[in-house]
Amino acid sequence: MEQPAFCVLALPIARIPAGGTDSNIRPFLPTAKHKELILKKTRHPLPRVCRTNSQAKTRSVLAGLAVLLLAAMFTFTACPTDTEDDGDDDNAVTLVELTAGAAVSAAATDTSKAVTFTGATGLTLTAADFAVTTGGTISTVVVASGTATVTVTFAANTDTTAKTYTVSIAAASTTIKGSAKVTITQAAKGFETVAELTAHLATLSTGSAAIPTRVPLTLAFNTGDTVPSGQIPWAEINTAVANSKKYVILDLSASIAAHDTTANTIEGSYDSDDEEYYELSGNYFNIIGNNTYIKGITLPSTLTSIGDYAFVECSGLTSVDIPGSVTSIGVGAFGWCSSLTAFTVAASNTAYSSAQDGILYDKDKMTIISVPGGKSGILNNLPNTLTSIGDEAFADCSGLTSVTIGAGVISIGKRAFYDCDELTTVIFEEGSNITSWNTYTFPYGDNLWTAYNTANKPGIYILSGSNWTKQP
């Protein structure tokens, strides 16, 4: 237990000089000068008749004691701090530091979400141990297997901008400590009527194609469903944006199943087996195909499937964000999107992935699903994990001039390089051994296939006119 900063030394008297240690302790012995001072202060002359030798001795003893008493009163020294655990601190509290879990997303209509903190093994925690920013309330805290699950309640978002709630360790907590924080991002309320959308677009600056404005929308998007009353069919979205002449990204992350619990699929508009286009309706996304003001689309967090040719010929699109929930993407889903430069796939997606090259792959980067139509020039850095190129993967990459196909690729799908009009060089790396491909896989694919087989496969092939020849 920690001792007082100063203490009076018990007899016998010892003094530790300033800055000294126990090794230079020396006893305090009163000098003759001290004795004289004490005697002067304590001398009380007695009648001469009382001054016997015994009395003189008694007085001398009392004087000596007085000296010692004064020395004890005025001799202090700093006492050493007790740094050892002597068992006296049984009531001390040690605060535990927690680690923040992953950030959480919430739909505009959500009114509660749970976040997690790890490192809470053996702790009993309550709402008082956590804090949340304005608008949120800590409702429950449950600790299990060392993880504290903190549930936060908040109001549905009726604004057209997203809201963020930050959950942290309460400063007043007597159990936990630390700077760990977890954020909950609640999506903006989407516009549901043409009037709302038009009014909002009117407030926006024109901006530029390079810096479009994000516009949230909320609607059901399964083509087999009837568009609910008061919501926006795609044809009206297209008209409203085109008339406004404002560059936008259509943000569907606010789209939820409030109107239709099965709204988790974007149907396609083309039958890839019959090679026949369906009649377009106002519900199809590709009704916006010719709108150069719609520069991007953020897909809903509830979306699981994108059908064949769902976004075909959306020539204005420059970027597409694919959420973690998507598990199926059809053939040509983003085909002939000539301005598209990159796909961005959520890291949490278990079926698909994207890379710095902006290409859409399967999760393990073994198959190319789709190459952005705006990809141009030479492409010679495909991952060495690649084993197949999907149907129409490069379709309408009209600016692509050269591609290198690794030795690990054993399969190339139908129309993989269809409409790649500038493609004049194909390099098959040493070890390449593709057994077949479709007539329309490459420009003049039959001729390339013949050259590939005749010329012992690996090598550099150059297109001249309609003929492919292997370079020496």
Q: Report domain extents, the chain.
A: 6-78, 96-186, 194-470
In the prediction, which pLDDT does 313 show? 80
Whether residue 391 contacts residue 371, with contact meaning beta carbons closer than 8 Å, is answered with no
Separation of alpha carbons 359 and 381, rounded Å: 11
In the prediction, which pLDDT does 455 show? 78
Q: Checking DSSP bridges between strand 319-322 and strand 294-298, what pairing results, if any?
A: parallel
Give the single-character DSSP code of 228: P
Residue 454: strand pairing partners? none
In the prediction, which pLDDT does 314 show? 80
Does residue 66 sit in helix, strand or coil? helix
Which residues make Cβ contacts (< 8 Å) with residue 407, sequence separation at least 6?
428, 429, 430, 431, 432, 433, 458
Does residue 96 sit in helix, strand or coil? strand
pLDDT digits (tens, 9 = 90+) for 307-341: 788 788 888 888 888 988 899 998 888 888 888 99
Q: Which of 386, 392, 426, 423 is nearest to 407 (CA)?
A: 386
In the prediction, which pLDDT does 422 show? 95
In the prediction, which pLDDT does 298 show? 79
Does residue 58 sit in helix, strand or coil? helix
| pLDDT under 50: residue ranges of the chain | 1-17, 20-25, 27, 46-52, 75-87, 221-232, 256-262, 270-285
Neighbours of 355 (CB within 10 A): 15
CATH number for 96-186 (one of 1.10.3470.10, 2.60.40.10, 2.60.120.620, 3.40.1710.10): it is 2.60.40.10
pTM summary value: 0.60
Does residue 381 sit in helix, strand or coil? coil
